[in-house]
A and B are shown apart, each in its own frame.
Chain A
Amino acid sequence: MRVTIGMLVWIGAFAWADEVKEEPRFKAPERLPVGENRYYPSPVMHDLDGDGKPELIVGDLRGMVTMSKMGALADEKPVLMADGKPLKFQNW
C-alpha cells in the first residue's frame, strides 16, 4: 500500500488526541435557593455542626456567614459564635 503524507498527518493527529486530557464536562448550571441578595456569595460544603452531614456555608463580601441544611437550603441561618452572636469577619 502506498503511504501518503496526508495519511501520516491523519495518523499523527489521532496520536496527539490521545495525549490531550479530556476536559471535564458539566451540565447546564442549576440555581440553588441560597445566597440571594448577598454581595459576592461564596459557597462551601462543610459539616459545621458535627452531625456527620455537610451543610452549605455561604460567606460574602461584608464578612457575614450563613449555613443551610441540605434539603432546606433556603432556610439560611447566621453562623453563631460561642457567645451566641453572629460570626462576622471584619471588612472595611
Chain B
Amino acid sequence: MGSQFVDFNADGHIDYITATFDGSPHVAYGSKDGFTAPVRLKDTQGRRLLISSIWNYEARKHEQVGHAMPDGTPKRLRCISALAFDWDADGDYDLLLGSYEEGRLYRQMNEGTNQEPKFSGKNIPVMAGGKEWAMPAKMTAPQLIDWDGDGDLDIVVGTFGDTFNMQGKTGGIYLARNNGKNGAPSFAAFETLIAPQPRSGDELKRPDSGLYPHACDYDGDGDLDLLVGGYSLWMPVARELSEDEQAEATRLKAQQKDAQKRYSEVMRAYTTELSAKTKGMQRGSDEWLAVQKKVYAGHKEPMGAMRMEMMKVQQQLAKLIPSQQRKAYVWLFERE
C-alpha cells in the first residue's frame, strides 16, 4: 500500500489515503486527536469504489465486478493504489486509482465537494504519452510530485516484476511528466529513473522487485532522492563442507524428505475429509465455510506440528547449504 497525506475532507486535519489488496481505496480521516478508524470510500450509489477485482468481505471471496469499468465489463484488475488529485482544478479532490494487474491508472471524478464528495462510480483511463496508462510488470503505488519543478504534479511510479523467482523479471522506477495545464493534466510517455536491473547474484546489493518509490529531498541538498521499499532476491555462495558437515547435510535432507512426505499425507487426509463433507455445497458459501472450519479444526494440530518440523529442518539445512534469500528492505537512492 502507498501512503498519501492530504486534507481530503477539508476540515483542517490531514487525512491518510491508501488502497490495499482488498481492491478499494481507504481513508483514515484526521481529527484534532489523531486518525480515526479507516473507512472505504463510496460512490454516489453507496457502492465501494473499485476498479474491478475485489475481495468481497461479506461473501468472503474474490469477485470481479464491471460497473466502474469504462465499458462495464469486469476485468481482472485490482485497485491497490489511490491518490487524491484535483484533476479538473474545480477545488475538490478527484481520485486516481491504480491496478496491480497490467499497471493501469484510472481517474474517478468527484462531482460534489471535499466536504460532501460525490464520486461518479465510473473510472476514466489516464493516458501517458497518448496511450492508456499501462505498466505490464505490474504497478506498485504512484506518487504525485513536482519532479521537474515546473509547478504541476508529475507521477513517479514503480513496478513489481517478479518478487519470488530469481529467474523472473525485476522491477523499475519511472517518471511520467505532466505537460498539461492546470485543470487539464497531460502525462508524457514514461521516462526511466531506475531501470530494471539484474538480480544481486550471491549477495544483497539492491532492491530488485516490488519497488515502492517515494521521491523526496531526503538529505536536504535541494534535489529529489528516491526512497524505495522493495524485495531483494539472492543466492549466497555455498561454502565447502567438512566430512562431518556433509554427513549432517545428507541426514537433514533425508529428514526433510520424510517430513514433506508426512506433511503431504496429513494434507491429503484433510482435503479428502473436506471434499467428502462438503459434497454438493458451493465452495466459499457460508455453509461450506462452516464445515471447512470444523474439518480444519480436526487437522490443525498435526498440520501445524508438521510445518514447524519442516521449518526447523530447513533452518538447520540452510546453515550448511544456502538457499535462495528473499527479503524486503527500505533503501535510499541518493541523487548524484
Contact = CB atoms under 8 A, between A and B. Distances in A.
Of the four ranges (under 10, 10 to 19, 20 to 34, 35 or more), the interface on chain B belongs to 35 or more
B331 A31 contact: yes
Most buried by B among A35, A40, A56: A40
Contacts of B193: 23-24, 26
Most buried by B among A21, A34, A45: A45
A1 interface: no
B333 A29 contact: yes
Nearest to A50: B14
Interface in B33-79: 33-38, 40, 55, 57, 62
B315 interface: no
Contact of B330 (A26, A43, A87): A43
Contacts of B28: 81, 87, 89
Contacts of B334: 26-27, 30
Contacts of B3: 42, 44, 46, 57, 59, 65
Nearest to B26: A89
Interface in A12-61: 21, 23-32, 34-46, 48, 54, 56-61
Contact of B332 (A29, A63, A81): A29
B141 interface: yes
A43 B21 contact: no
B31 A82 contact: yes
Contacts of B5: 44, 46, 48
Given A30-B334, A82-B31, A92 B22 contact: yes
A46 to B, nearest CB: 5
Interface of B: 1-5, 16, 18, 20-22, 26, 28, 31, 33-38, 40, 55, 57, 62, 140-141, 163, 191-194, 204-207, 210, 212, 214, 216, 218, 225-231, 327-336
**A-B pairs, 5 with minimum CB distance:** A92-B55, A42-B212, A41-B229, A82-B33, A82-B34
Interface of A: 21, 23-32, 34-46, 48, 54, 56-61, 63, 65, 79-83, 87-92
18 contacts: A26-B334, A27-B334, A28-B206, A29-B332, A31-B329, A31-B331, A41-B328, A42-B2, A42-B212, A43-B212, A43-B228, A48-B5, A63-B20, A81-B37, A82-B34, A83-B37, A89-B28, A91-B20
